[in-house]
Amino acid sequence: MDINIGIEFRDYTLLKNFKYDDERVSTVTSREQQKTENSIEKCFDRYQQLKFLDPKIAKFHREEHQRFLESMLHRLPGNYECLDSSRPWCIYWILQAGHVLNFTFAPQTLDAVVQFLTKCRHPEGGFAGGPDQYPHLAPTYAAVNSLAMIGTPSAYRAINRDSLERFLFKVREPDGAFRMHVDGEIDIRGAYCAVSVAKLTNMPEQALKKLFDKTGDWIATCQTYEGGFSGTPDLEAHGGYTFCGIAALALLNEGYKCDQQQLLKWTLQRQMSYEGGFQGRTNKLVDGCYSFWVGATIPITQAIISNENNHKLVKTLFDVGALQEYILLCCQKPNGGLIDKPGKPQDLYHTCYTLTGVAIAQHAESALHPSVLGDPINELLPTHPLFNVPPQAVAQTTQYYEQLNQLYAANIKGNNISSENVSDNEDKEEAEAMTIEDETNPSSVSSDNS
């Protein structure tokens, strides 16, 4: 039986001592910080006034969030037109937020998602941000993660790993870096997205070795003097880029190539003493999305250090209760969806990363004994810290593609299965995938989002 480790809310009288002190030197930055703290103080005050009258005030508004996600999956409002080239991202944010809330979408809805993402797959490999657009590593990551979460045979077939591998080689640079698209910009997001989709689809070891030769070395050059990672060498450390850097190194088993202690120090300094949430850069404001980007970086870094020193990870070093408190009290909209900080509108991006950040905080030390703030009903389902999809989806997707690897090896070695005469790699993978479906109980490769 799972046992929740209860965490209490902080003492708000003592907490006021941690508010920002500008030392009588007012600047634009200090005024913005004080303005943000004042808006958060109102949330804390409201909780103190209503906690005995309204039990919902300290709980996740699950039904409202679920309705928000369901409606957004079926029809996006007009203000999302600017994300027309990021439609797989919208799907991913919805599915992943739904997962941690333990919300399952209807099978026919998920089938429609698979059909749409198949239209986003480019003939030359990878996924685009929408049908008939150019392939790009960012929506490729979002699409592969979404299909892995759905976890049906048709979802796996929609990925087409052979063409995906060809696309990754197209955007790879000789020094191990990756462009976001052909002739596009180079940054650390590209390296992470490439490593993530290659590892999640369990590409053969020989391909991985060629694909990510020197990639770990290039990522290490993006670590700054502060300890975090920047988008490219010699820029400012940033929470999102830092996650991409250390997660990619961890997936490549090359965490030793960065300064882990300095990285851990930098990430721990990003948690705000008063607000409880994380900032993304030095001297910036708190933002709910960094609950995941920075929150996941800390246990990943701790795990790398622990493994190298043969020590067991005993305790997460950031304040997991304070983070949950910020999200619960300051980042929920009454009509569903979550936000960056008080006063901001809800959106899919922040809904996903605030919730997955809480999931990380709750399960970082133990999946069996989650650390949950307040009522045990606030417990969210765990997420894989490196891929940010359900752990079950990672296990089932890699297992599926391991079967494909074995079938492909048998095809080459024995030259005795029906797909041997298929010359096109895409058709060959399709034939081999169909063979797996024929030989495997479908329930062993399907993923239940709940």
Are 373 and 328 contacting, i.e. CB atoms less than 8 angstroms apart? yes
The residue among 76, 189, 89, 198 whose CA lies nearest residue 139 is 89
- The strand pair at 5-7 and 371-373 is best described as parallel
Q: By three-state DSSP, how is residue 450 classified?
A: coil
- Using a 10 angstrom Cβ sphere, with 0-12 exposed, 13-18 middle and 19 or more buried, the burial of residue 416 is exposed
**Amino acid sitting at position 195:** V
Q: Which two tokens stand for residue 155?
A: 């979802």
Are 176 and 232 contacting, i.e. CB atoms less than 8 angstroms apart? no
- Using a 10 angstrom Cβ sphere, with 0-12 exposed, 13-18 middle and 19 or more buried, the burial of residue 184 is middle
- Using a 10 angstrom Cβ sphere, with 0-12 exposed, 13-18 middle and 19 or more buried, the burial of residue 139 is buried
Q: Which of 136, 241, 340, 352 is catalytic?
A: 340
Q: How far apart are CA 216 and CA 242, in angstroms?
A: 14
Q: How far apart are CA 376 and CA 44, in angstroms?
A: 20
Q: Which of 43, 347, 352, 384 is catalytic?
A: 347
Number of other residues whose CB lies within 10 A of the CB of residue 338? 31
Residue at token pair 């300094």: 269
Which letter, b or e, does each residue of 417-428 get, where b requires 16 or more Cβ atoms within 10 Å of its Cβ? eebeeeeeeeeb
Q: Which of 61, 281, 341, 363 is catalytic?
A: 281
| 287 catalytic residue (yes or no) | yes
Q: Which of 238, 270, 363, 384 is catalytic?
A: 238
Are 243 and 231 contacting, i.e. CB atoms less than 8 angstroms apart? no
| 363 catalytic residue (yes or no) | no
Backbone angles phi, psi at 201, to 5 degrees: -90, 10
For the chain, the residue count is: 450
Q: Which of 62, 284, 344, 428 is catalytic?
A: 284
| 217 catalytic residue (yes or no) | no
Number of other residues whose CB lies within 10 A of the CB of residue 154? 15
Q: Which of 90, 193, 289, 330 is catalytic?
A: 289
| 290 catalytic residue (yes or no) | yes
Q: How far apart are CA 172 and CA 153, in angstroms?
A: 29
| 331 catalytic residue (yes or no) | no
| 90 catalytic residue (yes or no) | no
| 284 catalytic residue (yes or no) | yes
Q: Which residues are catalytic?
A: 238, 281, 284, 287, 289-290, 340, 347, 350
